[in-house]
Amino acid sequence: MNWLLVAVGAAVGAPLRYLTDRAVQSRHDSVFPWGTFIVNVVGSFVLGLLTGVTSARAQLLLGTGLCGALTTYSTFSYETLKLYEGGARGYAVLNAAGSLAAGLGAVWLGTAVAGPL
């Protein structure tokens, strides 16, 4: 039954990632992958919030399923490589460093908001 919770969370997270990416990217006239950046930071924050949730089912549904499908390391890696290869090396470095810093900051903030375990 655990796999079903993960699948349901992922069924929400994947389209949410796609729709958010398209909505954010359409508002920016830049080669920087703002959509992927935003979903990864938001997903990190939500995962941090979930540290206060003790329910294993909620962890599977929201942590593994929703956040796992919402965030995307593979797309981040691909977009960073394409920026670099396309000559936008500054954006590539900014994407790599900024994503790491913002993701860590977001997960830290999420855990801080969730409070002590």
Annotated binding site for Na(+): 68, 71
Q: Measuring CA to CA, how many Å separate 4 from each of 1, 9, 17, 61, 69?
A: 5, 9, 20, 8, 14
Q: What residues form the annotated binding site? A: 68, 71
Q: For the residues of 46-104, what is the DSSP string, one character each?
A: HHHHGGG---HHHIIIIIIIIIHHH--HHHHHHHHHHHHHTT-HHHHHHHHHHHHHHHH
89 sits in the region (left: phi over 0; alpha: psi -120 to 50; else beta) called: alpha
